[in-house]
A and B are shown apart, each in its own frame.
Chain A
Amino acid sequence: MTVTDVHKDPDALTMAIVVELDATVERAWQLWSDPRQLERWWGPPGYPATFGEHDLTVGSRVGYFMTSPEGERHHGWWEVLAVDPPRRLELADGFADDEGRPDDDLPVGRMVVTLEERGGRTEMVITSHFPTLEAMEQLMAMGQEEGMVQAIGQIEGILAEAGSAS
Chain B
Amino acid sequence: MVVDLREPERADRLFHALADATRRDIVVRTLEGTHSVSALARRYPMSFAAVQKHVAVLEDAGLVTKHRRGREQLVRGEVDTVRRASQLLDGLEAVWRGRIDRMDEILTDPEGDTP
Contact = CB atoms under 8 A, between A and B. Distances in A.
Interface string B84-103: 11101111111111111111
19 contacts: A2-B100, A3-B96, A8-B93, A10-B86, A10-B89, A11-B82, A15-B92, A30-B113, A31-B106, A34-B114, A36-B114, A44-B95, A45-B98, A128-B92, A137-B84, A137-B88, A148-B91, A154-B98, A155-B97
Interface of B: 7, 10, 62, 65, 78, 81-82, 84-86, 88-108, 112-114
B89 A2 contact: no
Given A45-B98, A155-B101, A10 B82 contact: yes
A28 B103 CA distance: 9
Contact of B7 (A8, A17, A36): A8
Interface residues of A, number: 41
A34 to B, nearest CB: 6
A136 B112 contact: no
Contacts of B81: 10, 133
Contact of B85 (A13, A148, A155, A165): A13
